[in-house]
Structure 1
Amino acid sequence: MESTVAIKKIITRNTTVGDLLANPEIAPLAQQFLAQYNQDDSLTSISEGEDGNEIMEAMMKYLPLRALVAFNPTKITDDMLNEMLETFNTTLVK
């Protein structure tokens, strides 16, 4: 069955980092956000596709956005995450 109605994708706190980076509309914004708020370069190197620790890459790929606040609370606050989600969702066409 194929739908004739386009459903707008919504980015939530449960969306994974990997899902963001796989979306061509959102990936540039996600990379910018991760680079801006990254403390130890692990997020940036994953988002830019550099070789690195496979376990860390897999962990980050499946990490929900809500976990970024706990992962790096001095750099990413709930308010920042909410602003990021709003930006991502207004960027998405469908």
Structure 2
Amino acid sequence: MASGYGLNGGPSRCYAFWQEVLGCYVVNAEDGETGKKKCMPALEDYYECLHHKKEAMRTMKMQAAFRKAEASHPRENAPKAEQVRNLGLLGKEEDSAAVMGRS
């Protein structure tokens, strides 16, 4: 939260990261532009704590890889969509038997 307090009155979840950023800026204040560059890793950690962009990107990549792996190894003997739609309908007992593996 913007106030620095969490939902339950304690410090916010990213308060420790913010303290690291402030500490880095205080230590490297005289260095000017190079001091800011030294503090970029701490600032990136703080932004990640706030927005979870890297974590979301990693999750999306893992899901895409899973979908790709799943698509490259289709199930053997998987019923087609039209066969599944016919299951349980009157007059389609032969389709149901074929999908269920009954003769």
For normalisation by structure 2, the TM-score amounts to 0.20
**Which protein has the larger Cα radius of gyration, Structure 1 or Structure 2?**
2
For normalisation by structure 1, the TM-score amounts to 0.22
